[in-house]
Amino acid sequence: MKIRSAVVFGIVLLFGTVAFAQDYPKFETSPGFMFIRTSGQLSNTFVVNGQVITSVKSLNCAGGGGTLAYNVSSVVGIAADLGGCKIFSNAYGLGNTVDGNMFTYLFGPRFTYRSGSKVEPFFEVNFGGTRISLSCKSSASSCLSAAGSNTYSKNAFAMTVGGGFQIKASKKVSIRLIQAEYLYTRFGNNCAQTACSFNNNQNSFRLKSGIVLNW
């Protein structure tokens, strides 16, 4: 009788442990807002009263995107991150403005701390690519590319490192208040636009927020 009771207790304990271990969503989708700010990626050189002046401007890009994540365990997941944003019109010289759009496609591991609390912090590293399309408007010829056009598009390697936290509103829905990341891109030195800074590496800050759907 004691042996039978011990077996039953063991089975209950085993299934209870498995149920606790699987108390996390297998898939997560998270549509939301995205904002990207670069650090001085546009430069323009002009002459005023015989003096050469170089102005450096940052790019701001706002839009949205989404993430689809598959959770291998309660801690480790694999995420696919897609997003697009509109580059604000940026003045970078005498009558010159640059605008356009950017699209990112990234993939990588995500690590989430789930302790039973409503607050779930996470950290992730993503690798992939980005595509940028720029349009330059100017009263001068400084916007013209080597091909004789004032538009420029290119794909490049991209990487993000960062994290954030989300708050569980229910079993199916969470609120991702903030996700802050360092965004690295490598467009190279062969940019045809004179507006480019001719810098191999671009360092940017990416901010995201939105909702998380668990299923």
Q: What is the pLDDT of residues 123-134, one digit of tens each?
A: 999 999 999 888
Q: So what's the pLDDT on residue 174?
A: 96
Number of domains into which the chain is organized: 1
Mean pLDDT, the chain, whole residue set: 79
CA-closest candidate to residue 121, choices 177, 184, 81 = 177
Which domain CATH number covers 69? 2.40.160.20
Does 200 fall in a domain?
Answer: yes
Does 51 fall in a domain?
Answer: yes
pLDDT at 15 over 60: no
Which domain, by its residues, includes 81? 25-214
Does 20 fall in a domain?
Answer: no
Does 67 fall in a domain?
Answer: yes
Does 35 fall in a domain?
Answer: yes
> pTM score, two decimals?
0.76
Does 16 fall in a domain?
Answer: no
**Cα(104)–Cα(65) distance, integer angstroms:** 9
pLDDT at 17 over 90: no
**Cα(36)–Cα(191) distance, integer angstroms:** 20
